[in-house]
Every structure is written in C-alpha cells, then in structure tokens.
Structure 1
C-alpha cells in the first residue's frame, strides 16, 4: 500500500491516525502499524528496557529492533541488548557511526561530547539512524508524554517531517506506573542501571544518576541546556 501512495497522502494518513488512535491500546496502535506497513517498519530502542520491543514482537515476530551503538554505552546497556536478542523473537540491528570513537577524536578532538554534545549526538546517533531508516516506511519509538516537558505533546502516530516517514509512539500516553505494571506482568527485561539510580539511560559520559525528586531525564546532559539527542 505504502509504495502506491504519495508522501502527501502518507502524511495525511499519519495525521489522521494520530487523532483516530488516541486512546487506543499500544497493541492496537502497533497492529494498525503492521496492517499499513507490513514488514516495512522498525523499532528504535535505547535498551533502557524491552517494553516496546516486547509489544512489537507480539504483533510481528522477528520485527527489526534498531540499536545505536555509539561506542560510549554502559556495559549494562550492551548486556541488555544481548539479553533481549536472546530472549525475544526480534531481529536486533546494531547501528554504528561512520567513525569509531578514536577516529572521531582524531577528526574533532577528544571529548567532543563535552565541547559540542549536539555535534557528537548528530555523528553518533542521528546520522546512523537516518541512514538505517531509509530501509523502512515507518518507525516506532518508546517516547512517553510524562518523561519530560519537551515530550508532553507527543502523538501516538505522527509524521516525521525531517525523514519523510510515519512515526509511531505506541506508549506515548503511558505513565511510569503503566510501564512498571507491564514489566511486572510480562517479565520484561530492564536495564539494571534503572535500579542503580539512573532515571534514563544514555551514553556513559553524558549520563548521571538522578537525585530524589528529580525528573527522570535530569541525568542526561546534566549542567547543560540540552534535553534531547536530536533523534526525536
């Protein structure tokens, strides 16, 4: 179906679905995704947990899960990726930047993440994901409205204008309690860092533990005005 309609029609479809599917369950949203895009959709996962990969696998066993291996990840994050690959019926695609960390250090200087975190994220996250998403017509993320003020208006289905494709956020309306309940009821894998003081898991050099009462994402790029990596 997707191959037969224009980008304008696809955008209209996404915008309409964003309204029509508001209030639908995550599985209903992903079922809509599979009905419209077949095998041409994938899930982007930071490996903080396996909630969205687990939901996606119920709709399409073997679904592609895209993981951005920046070269700066905690060992626990890589371990979570490997455990998900071993226990869920999914296909993990590990995406790597054009340059290794050492090669980037030569080109841009060491600790680029300190001097220009936006550029570092662009090189190690945004560009590799953009390249990989060219293989699909739609992509799925685990964005939730309650995570941060910058995500408060996230729709369950939207148009990714920068990439010219449909973006699905099946758990956008979930709260942390909803996530915790799904994890407990389904035995979902969780990155152990979330039980060690981290509210959100990103690259090692740019992620710290959070203090009681802090926003879950307060430990990301702490001390700077940066709140998103640029993927979303």
Structure 2
C-alpha cells in the first residue's frame, strides 16, 4: 500500500478537491501515482476525457467493451480518440466466461432474475474492470451526486478497500447543466442517444429512454424493482459468483 492509499489520506484529498476546478482535480489524481480513468462514453465521462486530452494529463483512459454496447457507443470510442488525440484501451469479457453464463442462464437471462443480471454484469463488466485497474494507484470515475439517490453522497475522493486504491470522482458536485455547458463550450462529442432520452447509457439490452420525471438512471435495468440498482462497479453487488470461471 502506498502512503496515498489510506482512508485518512482520502479524506484529506477530498477536502483539497473541493477547492479545485476539473483540470486541477484531475492533475491531483495524476500526481498520486498511476491513474486510470474508466469511461462508459456517457456525457459525464466525455467531459473528463476532454479535460484529460485538452490538458495532456498523464491519465490512462480505458473502457469496458462488454459485447452488448449500443452501436452509437461503440462508434464514439474512435471519434473521441481522434478528437482529443488520445488512445482508449479496450477491455473485453473473456469468451469462456460469456459462454459459461449463456449455458447457465441463457444469453439474455438477466431479464429473469436479479441474480442472473448481477452475474452478467460480473462477467461483462467487473472482471474486465479488474484487468483495467490492475496495478493502478488511482481510479477516476464520472460519478455525480445528481445522477441518482444512491449516488447523492458521492465524495470527491474515497478509499476503495476492495481494490486497494483511491477512487476520485472529479465531477461529484457538477450538475447536469454544468455538464451540458462544458460540452457546448468545448465542442465535446457526445453519444447521440442522449438527445433521444437516454441520460445514462449502458448495455443495449439493459437500457431504455427515461420517462418524464424519472431520475437520470431510471432507464438502467428498468425491469427491476430495486431503486438502488447498480452493476457493481461502484456499489458492491451480491450473487456475482454464480458463473463458474472456466479452467
């Protein structure tokens, strides 16, 4: 464990971030060691990618190519690389894990139970994330407090005990209006699905447009009743070991 990777240091850094702008928060993250930003290509993440590229910050940019992304999301990866002169590392699920999941639950078995959905997210997101963050000191995310009630207390910096690293959320206090203003001012390329009612975009089978009055993440796993539904990347989920790991 490095001197930065402690809950106490996370608390001190959280206070420092409150007085910094976005480039300053990202520069602070990069100064703490090997920093990895994982992008879903959503509008928040595009803002962070733009800041990293524009200010040429030493932050690795990675994405999880789950195999079930919207066509629009996949196309945005290359467009973003070209726009900001960066390379986005792709991390994909192991085909053996995908095959094992399909054999146990069916390709779209995630609609049948919460446990099966968690297992799918484990195969297509959590295991690739482990590879993306291997050896990292800092994990940068696009989490915002305004995205959902489950994220309302998101700090700027927290200690991720499970992964033994610092997790930095530089947009924690940004509103959607601030995000949109930045995108317009900096001509940041965004997913066209946002203009079609998709404020939060995940895998295609698991994402729908939201209805008037719904929160930003209401279109994610909409068939589930749990209001705190997450994939497990940022909130620990259960039942992620249902699919055996192939030998």
**TM-score normalised by length of structure 2:** 0.85
Corresponding residue for 2:35?
41
Q: 1:109 aligns with which of 92, 95, 106?
A: 106
Distance 2:88 2:229 in 1: 27
**Contact map agreement 2:27 2:57 (CA 8 A) in 1:** no
Deviation for aligned residue 1:160 = 1.1
Relative to 1, partners in 2 of residues 1:91 and 1:64: Cα closer, same or farther, differing over 3 Å? farther
Relative to 1, partners in 2 of residues 1:58 and 1:15: Cα closer, same or farther, differing over 3 Å? farther
Distance 2:15 2:59 in 1: 25
Runs of 4+ in 1 over 3 A off after TM superposition: 58-63, 100-104
Distance 1:89 1:135 in 2: 24
Moved more, 54-63 or 41-50: 54-63
Corresponding residue for 2:237?
none
**Contact map agreement 2:32 2:137 (CA 8 A) in 1:** no
Relative to 1, partners in 2 of residues 1:62 and 1:166: Cα closer, same or farther, differing over 3 Å? closer
Runs of 5+ consecutive residues of structure 2 not aligned to the other structure: 235-247
Distance 2:3 2:15 in 1: 21
Distance 1:96 1:140 in 2: 19
**Contact map agreement 2:54 2:84 (CA 8 A) in 1:** no
Moved more, 146-155 or 96-105: 96-105
Aligned ranges 1:178-217 → 2 under 5 Å: 178-217=178-217
Distance 1:84 1:62 in 2: 17
Corresponding residue for 2:134?
134
Deviation for aligned residue 1:71 = 0.7
Distance 1:89 1:167 in 2: 25
Deviation for aligned residue 1:128 = 1.0
Corresponding residue for 2:243?
none
Runs of 5+ consecutive residues of structure 1 not aligned to the other structure: none
Kindly provide the CA deviation profile for residues 12-56 of structure 1, in whole angstroms up to 9, marking residues without a partner as x. 32221112322421111111112222xx11111111131111112
**Contact map agreement 2:92 2:124 (CA 8 A) in 1:** yes
- Equivalenced residue count is 226
SS at match of 2:90: strand
Distance 1:168 1:195 in 2: 28
Answering whether residue 31 of structure 2 is matched by residue 29 of structure 1, we say no
Corresponding residue for 2:240?
none
Q: 2:86 aligns with which of 60, 70, 90?
A: 90
Distance 1:211 1:34 in 2: 38
SS at match of 1:43: strand
Distance 1:76 1:108 in 2: 27
Answering whether residue 47 of structure 2 is matched by residue 51 of structure 1, we say yes
